[in-house]
Structures are given as C-alpha cells and as structure tokens.
Chain A
C-alpha cells in the first residue's frame, strides 16, 4: 500500500534514472570517444588506397589484432573489386580461424512492448497507438519458454524489454529466474534454456550489478546511431533515450559492474553506413582501452518496416545489399575476435550470403511479438518491426548443414570460467575454438536426438561425423574423453561440456 510519504513506484523509477556522475570517469578530457568531425574527415573522398597498405591491414586482421580507425577507414575506401575479393576471403578465413564452421543459434523473446521512449523509427514508440501493449506475466513467460526450450529446442535466448516502470529491474530479475527454472521433457532428454542474454535500456550501476548477479549471458545495448546529430533527430530530447552519452557508456559501466560479456550494435539505415561501422569500431576500441575487454558480440541490424511508422518508409540512408555485405566484411576484419550476429531481419538469401563472411550467430523460429510463440504468427500490431525470415529452427539447421556448417547450441564458456578477459585471450589465440568444437558436436547431437525432423537429422548426421573425424585427427589427446562424453549423450545424458 502506498502511503502519502512514499513515492509511487513509477515515480521512483523515473527519478535519478540517468546518473551523469557514473559515466564521467570514462570521458577523456571531458569528451566521449566519438569525434564526429574526425570520423567524417576519415570518410571524405580520397584516392584509392595503396594496395600494399590494404594488404598489410588485412594481414594484421588475420593475426586476430583489432584494427584502428584509420585502418578501418582505409578498408572502407577500397573500390578495386580485386581488393574487395581479398577482403571477403580474409573475412571468411578469420571467421574460420576463430569460430571454424560453427553457427550459434538463439531466439529473441520479447517480454514487454511498453516503452516510455519516442524513437521515430521504432514501432514500439510510446505515441504509436497502433500497437497493442502488453507485459508478460511470469506464467506467460513460463509458457513461452516451454515452447522455445521444449518444442523448438533453443538453449539460448535474448530477452528484450521495453524501457518502462512495468518492466523494471525487479521484473527483469524475476523473468530471468523464471526462464532459467523451466525444464521440459523432450524426445529423449529435456529442454532447458542455458543462457539468457539481455537486451535492455541503460540502467544505473546498482541495477547493472543486480542484473549481473542473476547470471545473465551477454548484455546488449545498441547505440542505434553513433552520429550525434542523427541521434538527436530520432531520439527526442527529454526522453531517457535522448541522452546519447548515457547510452554510449552503458557497456563500459556494465563491464565494470561485473557483466563481462557485452554486445554492441548499430541500426543501419539511420545514417551513413560507413560512419556507423567506424562508430562500432571506435566503441570496441574504447572498451578495450578503458576496461581491457572488447565486445563479446557486434550486431548490425538493418532498419525494417514497422507498423504505423512512416519514418522507415523513405530512408535517405537505406543500406543496399552490396553495401551491407561490406559492413559485415569490414567489421569482421576490424574486430576479428568478436561474435557477429545476423538476424531474421534479413531474408534467407541474404543470410546465406553473409554467414560465410564472418557471422557467428543467428536466430531462428523467431517471433518478436510479445506472447508470440504461443500462436507462432507475426502480428504487426504487437511487434517492433517485421521479420524477413520466418523459417523454423529445424529448417535453418538443415540449411546450415547443407552449407557445411554445424549448428552449435553450446553455452559452456560462461558456465566454466571462460569469460571476460579469459575468453578474449582464448579467442585471440584460437584455443577457444577447440573447446567450442567439442561442445558444438555434443550439443548438436543432443538437439538432433531431441528435436530434429527426420529430414534435418539426415542432413545433420554427415556434418557430425565429419566433425568427429576432425576431432580424432586434430585433438588426439582429448579424443577419448570426448568420445566417452559423446556416448553418454547418445545414451540420453544431457548438458555435458568441456
């Protein structure tokens, strides 16, 4: 019961939500790390870069070293088709060196679509009366999770919350605990979500620490656009999201709060894609400089149509498919250790085109309507935007297998100490790939036995056998223990990992 002396919960939530003092320590000489003028200067038309210099930059990336902004800008200036072909080849090689042929899958789970912000491009902006607003109850979250973990077979979710007092920290913590507690029988074993990643608005340090303590995987906050004038234009002043620097330094603060794995991202289509690429690279570099750990993942969603959202219908900075491919290639070279996420915003053809160039994670069976998994249809009036790929996880796994890729449901790293700086070291040296290879096979075996259709199982078996043979040849010391674990999985045990 609220007494006259107590502030209503919503008012408490709003007051002091943005705390400039918490981000001040990350500024350098009072300035943030995005220097718009310096970035624009790097993007001004210039002569074709020297091929020898570009090849030296490619070689640096292939050594799994981060590129600086000048090096990244040089790549963006390349026009020569042959050099682009070399860059695509290098991106593919880096992907294979760090992540081999593994693709990690996940699903988004929107828990609320109520939001206090007014972002012009977003279907969930508060003024959009065409959207049916909803925040899932814990029972509803349990039901959604039972479908995702028990029928589809996902092990990893990204949960998404609107910025609103109804989806405050307490709600986030309870919803994440609820998801982790779900365990449902599957064909042979059981279904369970083993890693919950979070996409949520910036929050104060004390809330970040509480979110970290509940055991989240990756915490994502996308800057949307790094270009300050555009940021101001699409995020009205006076809204929480209107504060550029509060958002920009959220992941610095999250890492300092103990989060360890953070995901950066930009929404392509709001401004010049080349500027956003440099913004993302600047973000990764500043995290490395300030905290010593770069981003766990990089996301680069393209702006999509949304219900009753005219802003998205005539975009000046719309990114073509060819330019979008360049986004992926240059990011792969510039931040070679990071996971890269391509989502169901892209159609199946585009996803097939981008995956070999450096993407490491993708979603499937996705539904971004709040409560959407229970009816499995897209509802424009409940969701942030419309999806271009609505294939099931079973179909995507089969498609990946036809491309020679193994779908990994591995969530081991963060449950056995391979986190933060430790995982960065392992990724840069290629050692993490050895663990991942073993875990990919074990989790793929689980998934084929528990969830795959006959068709997908038939497509997946040859991929598995090829992987097992590679492990036998390349990791003879680990092979016996690996095979023991594999046999235990075949016999019905679950969740064994290296």
Chain B
C-alpha cells in the first residue's frame, strides 16, 4: 500500500471515535510506525487489528464502542480501496 493511499485512509478514519495506529507487520510483530504513539491509558480498549497487506496493518482502539453502522462504514472504506490493498480483521 503506498503512502498516499495510507494517508488518505487515515484522514477518512479520523472522523470516527477511534485511535488509529499504522503498523509494520513482521511475523507476529506489529510495530508502531505512526499515529497515537502515546496511547492514553484512559482510552484502553481491546485493539482491533486490520491487516492491509503483507507488511502493513492498522490498529484501531475504540472499535468496541462503535455502532454497527460505523463499523460497516469503516469496513466499506477499506474495501473501497481494494485496488490498492486488501484487509483482514486479525482480532
């Protein structure tokens, strides 16, 4: 996934009440690249991991608090960029 499409995606996700981290995936390691580098302890929630391609993923916190409609919108948002990426919910 290229930098422009990631940047566009992060911009579109910014309207939702989730914190988003971009991660580089190396095996089991999801390493922080950008976004929410100091996740507030007040915003602790189960991380929802979305794998965009072999080496890139998004970690969303606050997923559990989204409405079903908001989740569907995000899923659709990611699916709409499918020409440049695919995504898989990891957890």
Contacts and interface: CB of A to CB of B under 8 A. Distances in A.
A complexed with B: yes
Contacts of A422: 32, 37-38
Interface string A208-243: 000011111100000000000000000000000000
B27 A180 contact: yes
Nearest to B59: A417
B23 A215 contact: no
Contacts of B41: 430-431, 434-435, 475
Given A258-B26, A422-B37, A426-B39, A498 B45 contact: yes
A418 interface: yes
Contact of B32 (A194, A420, A478): A420
Contacts of A12: none
A260 B30 CA distance: 11
Contact of B29 (A419, A434, A498): A419
Contacts of B40: 431
A425 B37 contact: yes
Interface string B32-47: 1000011111101111
Contact of B47 (A416, A429, A430): A416
Contacts of B32: 417-422
B42 to A, nearest CB: 6
A426 B32 CA distance: 13
A171 interface: no
A212 B26 contact: yes
Interface in A191-215: 194-195, 212-215
A216 B29 CA distance: 7
A217 B39 CA distance: 21
Interface string A414-444: 1111111110011001110011001000000
A481 interface: yes
Contacts of A194: 28
B28 A417 contact: no
Contacts of B45: 478, 481, 498
A482 to B, nearest CB: 8
Interface of A: 176, 180, 194-195, 212-217, 258, 260, 414-422, 425-426, 429-431, 434-435, 438, 475, 477-478, 481, 485, 496-498
Given A215-B26, A497-B46, 5 more contacts: A217-B29, A414-B28, A475-B44, A477-B42, A477-B44
